[in-house]
Amino acid sequence: MKVMKPLPEIRLETSRAELDNRPLEKRVGLIVLATDHTSEVDFRRMVASERVGVYVARIPYANPTTPENLRKMQPSLSAGAALILPDEPLDAVCYSCTSASVVIGDAEIEAAIREAKPGVPVVTPPMAGARGLNAFGVKRISILTPYTVETSRPMAAYFAAHGFDIQSFTCLGFEDDREMARITPASLVDLARKATHPQADALFVSCTALRAALAVPGMEEAIGRPVVTSNQASAWNCLRLCGDETPRPEFGRLWAKPLAA
């Protein structure tokens, strides 16, 4: 049997270690679907830094992506927000589901999250998308989604209600968000070219499951117009709320724009 050496005496340091006010200056909360493969990765890439922390909570979700299933997430929003740094303030919270946001409603989502995080600025992807399109001053748009026709209808109604003239709307017919995450960024460039109407001034690409943020420069080059996507716009919106105005051309033209008051 191996003989153990005596353990060293453990000394308690009596001087107090210096503390920062926060480990990181800014905090962004992110609520994602249990099935989500993309939002967290995108926010790590686009938002997280030595200054800004991204803190994630996942809430229950079951495919297929139908308005009924999307609406079922609403009761979990407050509990999800409460799990993000309990009893500590956040600088923004994003609920990362575009289709559910238009089905549930921005106001209802904001109210549910503020039950757990009073006063926090709340961002939804369609809200951020509309703000991104407004940053370009455009009204005539095309929309591309991976959803079914049924799930796409509320998206069309949302952007029409926000004053946009929808020149064309294309959907891909997917029902499972895990499959949506497998659509290649290269194919999104081709789809953007097909989906953009000649009279549209910009393209909105919906869905936080899509790896569309990686394809924005290619899509913009292909169509010669601004492209706004769910995760790209949400990340941009959250960073602007954190006071970060840094242009990031690798994420598209939007990242040179300020967030309007």
- pLDDT digit string, tens, across residues 232-258: 999 999 999 999 999 999 999 999 999
pLDDT band at 4 (very low <50, low <70, confident <90, very high): confident
Please compute the mean of the pLDDT values over residues 73-79 and round it to a whole number.
97
List of residues 6+ apart from 40 with CB closer than 8 A: 30, 32, 54, 56
181 shares a domain with 240: no
Number of domains in the chain: 2
Report residue 229 as tokens.
Answer: 């996507």
Element (H, E) at 192: helix 185-195
- What are the tens digits of pLDDT across the range 220-236? 999 999 999 999 999 99
pTM check: above 0.75? yes
Res 223: pLDDT: 98
- pLDDT of residue 260 exceeding 90, the answer is no
Is residue 238 within 8 Å of 212, Cβ to Cβ? no
136 shares a domain with 225: yes
156 shares a domain with 108: no
Please compute the mean of the pLDDT values over residues 170-188 and round it to a whole number.
97
226 shares a domain with 243: no
Residue 21 lies in a domain: no
For the chain, the straight-line distance linking the first and the last C-alpha, in angstroms and rounded, comes to 72
Res 2: pLDDT: 78
243 shares a domain with 114: yes
Report residue 51 as tokens.
Answer: 């200054």
Place of tokens 């209802």: 108
Using alpha carbons only, give the angle 179, 56, 148 rounded to the nearest 5 degrees.
25
Report d(CA 152, CA 150) in Å as an integer: 5
Element (H, E) at 238: helix 230-241
86 lies in which domain range? Answer: 26-124+233-247
